[in-house]
Homo-oligomer: A and B are copies of this chain.
């Protein structure tokens, strides 16, 4: 019932530096320390961290999670605010899916039509260079490559 940051990391499936980062920005509370200043956690920390992780997976940003956590910490409030956050996020996800599907179509066309010849006739390059293409205001966020 008092385990290390590494153990917490394993149990909640979150990296160790990420836990320290969450503590630093106030998402995770400061916790007990050993005499040697090492952090020790209990099961509540696992639950909270799992909550955060899950919310991150669902694409909520830290600020939204902060609100969600404060709601969870004070469970007698009406949940309209939590619902609102989730609803906003849902609309965002819908927009994103639509954008990605348009993107997919274009990429597919590019790849399919590439004649595997010289660059001068390459459809991939052609398509990208085509300024007559309709520009949507939608923008995809950067992709973080992870192993």
Is A104 touching B93 in the complex (CB atoms < 8 A)? yes
Is B103 touching A100 in the complex (CB atoms < 8 A)? no
Q: Of B82, B124, B129, which is within 8 A of A79 by CB? A: B124
Query: What is the interface residue range for chain A against chain B?
Result: 35 or more
Chain B contacts of A124 at CB under 8 A? 68, 79, 82-83, 85-86
Q: In the complex, what residue of chain B is closest to A53 when comparing beta carbons?
A: B135
Check if A32 is an interface residue, CB within 8 A of chain B: no
Chain B contacts of A130 at CB under 8 A? 54
Is B79 touching A116 in the complex (CB atoms < 8 A)? yes
Q: Of B46, B74, B129, which is within 8 A of A47 by CB? A: B129
In chain A, residues 78-99, which have Cβ atoms closer than 8 Å to a Cβ of chain B?
78-80, 82-83, 85-87, 89-90, 92-94, 96-97
Chain B contacts of A58 at CB under 8 A? 103, 106-107, 128, 140
Which 6 residue pairs of A and B lie closest in terms of their CB atoms, listed nearest first?
A79-B122, A75-B120, A75-B119, A82-B124, A90-B107, A59-B140
**What is A's interface to B at a CB cutoff of 8 Å?**
13, 46-47, 50-51, 53-59, 61, 68, 71-72, 74-80, 82-83, 85-87, 89-90, 92-94, 96-97, 100-101, 103-104, 106-108, 110-111, 114, 116-122, 124-125, 127-131, 133, 135-136, 138-146
